[in-house]
Amino acid sequence: MISAKIIADSINPAGSRLTTFEIVFNRWILAELNTHRMLSRNSASSRAIPIKRLLSAVWQDPAYPVSYGSNKAGMQAGSDLTGWRLWCAKKLFRLARIPALISVWFLSKFGLHKQVANRILEPWMWHTAIVSGTDWENFFKLRDHKDAQPEFQVLARCMRIEMITSSPVQVGWLGWHLPYIPSSLGGKTYGITDGLLDTPKISAACCARVSYVRQNDRKSEAEDVALANKLTSSGHFSPLEHPAVAIKGYNGGNFNGGWKQLRKFYSGEDGCSKSLKCTCTTINNIYSDDCEFCNG
């Protein structure tokens, strides 16, 4: 079932609100979600989840359309089918997964890797993602709209309702926004001038585990920190975009209003050569995320 819940909601002294969602939706709208570049995202991976788990999930709880609109020219469907046509459409959509399930089961017995076999199941998969952002106006304007894909309309509406009913935590300068970390620890400072401490890394590790849909399975702090270190050493920085610290005047990454993402504390996180010399300068305390002077 399509759902959305807020797992961290913070507002800094500049009034910039940073919100992190855990969302579940039909796998087929993932490409549309990924077009919103102002959002940081991590999500379940067909390459990471064992074939056996996906076979069970698609068999027991397949994803399905929220409406069965009639065919017509254009991107938007007509009015919903009715009567026996609607009944047949619903039954056939779900039955269509049976040949896919059988095919994937045989492919697994042949020894094919999940990064190939699992792709066949994607049209009937529920998909879990973690999404963070400070700028939501355009997202809701486009997706909570009658012209959007119906499944995306439902998802965006769930997210909007969550934001309306949530009260963001007031975070002072140098306080952290930390998904999956208890609220009693969020908003605190963690010695950013003395090097990164463990708590933001633990938050990033939890976000990374959504690849396996295990984001709520907390490990030991040592394992979490080790996972975060492994991600950064291999250049996988996206899970480190969700934890962020409030820094007055900071402007960088894809969050606005004074939020510096954890990944921006790592040299070379943008993939550029460390030998390149930065020539930018600070103006009126506005900082660049790719400047060694600004972030050194």
pLDDT tens figures, 54-106: 999 999 999 999 999 999 999 999 999 999 999 999 999 999 999 999 999 99
Residue in the structure block whose two tokens are 């291999």: 234
Band of residue 293 on the pLDDT scale cut at 50, 70, 90: very low
Band of residue 275 on the pLDDT scale cut at 50, 70, 90: very low
Residue 283 has pLDDT above 50, yes or no: no
Closest CA to 77 of 1, 2, 152, 150: 150
Phi and psi angles of residue 245, each rounded to the nearest 5 degrees, phi first? -110, 145
Mean pLDDT confidence for 109-136: 95
Set out the domains of the chain in order of their start, with CATH numbers: 3-165 (3.30.1360.170)
Closest CA to 204 of 157, 269, 261: 261
Distance of alpha carbon 240 from alpha carbon 140, whole angstroms = 25
Which has more pLDDT, 218 or 203?
A: 203
What is the pTM (predicted TM-score) of this model?
0.86
Mean pLDDT confidence for 192-204: 71
